[in-house]
A and B are shown apart, each in its own frame.
Chain A
């Protein structure tokens, strides 16, 4: 079921429920870590692996919904599945609008929870993949010299080598050499490829600004 070491975090003040969920997730080969309060969860240093959070709405101290907002404000991005004993529609609408994956009413069926966890982990994997490739691209961008960055900024706007040379006050052959370096360092095969990378890095905008 799992090709990576995904972790399901559970925050519920009821130990019996944490234990039951731990048993269920172990039966499908998922690793689970339980916390009795949001405070404990925040204090824990999470591993950099795909993960999701199963959150009880009714918690000691702040409610689960408040904690969801807190996490969002702190830019802690983790998919959340709410479980609640007394959910009402406005509550679930609020949770879903704030980006929750699922809103389950206790007692829930195992398959409903497992499906929700799967989709949450899939979402987190996609986020992580995106994050990783973006970080990778940033690393490549960092390899460029100052001159090469200047050339690239004009290049991704669709200008020809000759025009770039005129703008920067160099010869067309120098620009051509820079351009080859840029394509190599950015691992771009075509100009379209490079433009797409620049777009993802918001490179053009930042240079223009």
Chain B
């Protein structure tokens, strides 16, 4: 990590070669170089030898080495410089003005170098801080990635949980329905068995013939058949009773709840939902759960039909309006596969299905519920494709 950060770091005056040498050795080397340069230049600048190599050596030593090497270079360069300066004078003497000038420039070089060294230290610190920051940033990015992965995992878990829950609900609904159907079948089969046996018996007595016995058997046929009819009536009454719970229902709320329930499916199938719900819909008396079942079934059917569509944008349109004759009209339309013409007349019959695993109960149940609310449920093909279901519900007042 730190090495990567150092590569990224582009600071001016970063230590190159000088950093490889110990600072004090560097100071000695620089002073030596200055001495060599002065000796070499002595022949060129006769009479007034240049002092700048010593100033440069002091400045460089302070620059690269810091204050200590700066002192060392100054201590060495000062007498050397003075020596050359004095040697170059015809009188071999020192003028106080020149000495002060020399000291001033020397100090300037030293201070400049030392300041620069300071700056380097600061830059070093900055670089370290920068490195640390980069490490921190990398760590943060790492944990951010982990968080995103965790969130995705969580979403997947949630989806699978939801899927399982839906499956469970479906299975339990089917199981309950199967149990109910088995129970009703048994209830009807018993008197039916008696009817068949009594009718057979009646035929036997007629063949003898014993009219009295035959009549008795025939009377038992009538009685048991009536019993079977009573069972059917009882089942009907039970269904009606289940629908008898009436509370004030707000259709928009009812729809909203169903739609929020189906929201994940709508999103997954990228279905565009268009709603046109009148704001002034009256509260109607009904069974909220049952009405939601109707919406749920119809929208689920639409979604299933839309799942086959690939060549156009999938749409579900829901509108609810109050019509003049004290009824609410709700239209659910999709642009899915629709249904074949020949299915239309039998669409609401039980056990009629176009789905490979359907029970064919959904629409039959829907119509049963709507009719129990005193309304109607009508299916029609949508234009240019898809299915349209129109529900009308009375706004109350009259009893269904």
Residues of A participating in the B interface, judged by any CB pair closer than 8 Å: 14, 16-17, 19-21, 23-24, 26-28, 58, 83, 85-86, 106-110, 113
- Asked if B185 and A20 make an inter-chain contact with CB atoms under 8 angstroms apart, the answer reads no
Residues of B participating in the A interface, judged by any CB pair closer than 8 Å: 182, 185-186, 189-198, 200-201, 204-205, 208, 213, 216-217, 220, 223-224, 227
- Asked if B193 and A85 make an inter-chain contact with CB atoms under 8 angstroms apart, the answer reads yes
Q: Give the Cβ gap from A40 to chain B, nearest Cβ, in Å.
A: 19
Question: Can you report 25 residue pairs joining A to B where beta carbons are below 8 Å apart?
Answer: A14-B194, A16-B191, A16-B220, A16-B224, A17-B197, A19-B220, A20-B193, A20-B201, A20-B224, A23-B197, A23-B216, A24-B198, A24-B200, A26-B213, A27-B201, A58-B186, A85-B190, A85-B193, A86-B185, A107-B193, A107-B197, A109-B200, A110-B197, A110-B201, A110-B204
- Asked if A86 and B182 make an inter-chain contact with CB atoms under 8 angstroms apart, the answer reads yes
- Asked if B193 and A23 make an inter-chain contact with CB atoms under 8 angstroms apart, the answer reads no
Assembly CA distance A141 to B201 (angstroms): 49
Which of A16, A26, A28, A108 has the most chain B CB within a 10 Å cutoff?
A: A16
Q: Give the Cβ gap from B294 to chain A, nearest Cβ, in Å.
A: 32
Residues of A within 8 A of B191 (CB): 16
Assembly CA distance A172 to B216 (angstroms): 75
Known: A23-B216, A23-B217, A107-B189. Is A16-B200 also a contact (CB below 8 A)? Answer: no
Known: A17-B197, A20-B194. Is A27-B189 also a contact (CB below 8 A)? Answer: no
Assembly CA distance A157 to B65 (angstroms): 131
Q: Give the Cβ gap from A85 to chain B, nearest Cβ, in Å.
A: 5
Q: B187's closest neighbor in chain A, by CB? A: A85
Q: Give the Cβ gap from B224 to chain A, nearest Cβ, in Å.
A: 5
Q: Give the Cβ gap from B303 to chain A, nearest Cβ, in Å.
A: 36
- Asked if B186 and A20 make an inter-chain contact with CB atoms under 8 angstroms apart, the answer reads no
Residues of B within 8 A of A28 (CB): 204
Residues of A within 8 A of B189 (CB): 85-86, 106-107
Assembly CA distance A106 to B189 (angstroms): 7
Q: Give the Cβ gap from B300 to chain A, nearest Cβ, in Å.
A: 31
Residues of B within 8 A of A20 (CB): 193-195, 197-198, 201, 220, 224
Assembly CA distance A85 to B187 (angstroms): 9
* A24 contact from B190, B204, B208, B227, Cβ within 8 A: B204
Besides A106-B190, A107-B197, A110-B200, 11 more A-B contacts (Cβ < 8 Å) are A16-B194, A16-B223, A16-B224, A19-B220, A26-B213, A27-B205, A83-B193, A85-B186, A106-B192, A109-B196, A109-B200
Residues of A within 8 A of B217 (CB): 23, 27
Residues of B within 8 A of A85 (CB): 185-186, 189-190, 193
Assembly CA distance A27 to B220 (angstroms): 14
Residues of A within 8 A of B213 (CB): 23, 26-27
Residues of A within 8 A of B182 (CB): 86
Residues of B within 8 A of A14 (CB): 190, 194
Assembly CA distance A23 to B219 (angstroms): 12
Q: B227's closest neighbor in chain A, by CB? A: A16
Q: B189's closest neighbor in chain A, by CB? A: A85
Q: Give the Cβ gap from B7 to chain A, nearest Cβ, in Å.
A: 77
Assembly CA distance A24 to B205 (angstroms): 9
Residues of B within 8 A of A19 (CB): 194, 220
Known: A16-B227, A86-B185, A86-B186. Is A24-B192 also a contact (CB below 8 A)? Answer: no
- Asked if A24 and B201 make an inter-chain contact with CB atoms under 8 angstroms apart, the answer reads yes
Residues of B within 8 A of A107 (CB): 189, 192-193, 195-197
Q: B197's closest neighbor in chain A, by CB? A: A20
- Asked if A17 and B200 make an inter-chain contact with CB atoms under 8 angstroms apart, the answer reads no
- Asked if B201 and A23 make an inter-chain contact with CB atoms under 8 angstroms apart, the answer reads yes
- The 7 tightest CB contacts between A and B, nearest first, are A110-B200, A20-B197, A107-B196, A106-B193, A107-B193, A16-B194, A20-B194
Which of B193, B220, B224 has the most chain A CB within a 10 Å cutoff?
A: B193
Residues of B within 8 A of A108 (CB): 193, 196-197
Assembly CA distance A109 to B204 (angstroms): 12
Which of A58, A86, A110 has the most chain B CB within a 10 Å cutoff?
A: A110
Q: Give the Cβ gap from A12 to chain B, nearest Cβ, in Å.
A: 9
Q: Give the Cβ gap from B225 to chain A, nearest Cβ, in Å.
A: 10
Assembly CA distance A28 to B203 (angstroms): 12
- Asked if B190 and A16 make an inter-chain contact with CB atoms under 8 angstroms apart, the answer reads yes
Residues of A within 8 A of B198 (CB): 20, 23-24
Residues of B within 8 A of A24 (CB): 197-198, 200-201, 204
Residues of A within 8 A of B194 (CB): 14, 16-17, 19-20
Residues of B within 8 A of A83 (CB): 193
Known: A27-B205, A58-B186, A109-B200. Is A17-B193 also a contact (CB below 8 A)? Answer: yes
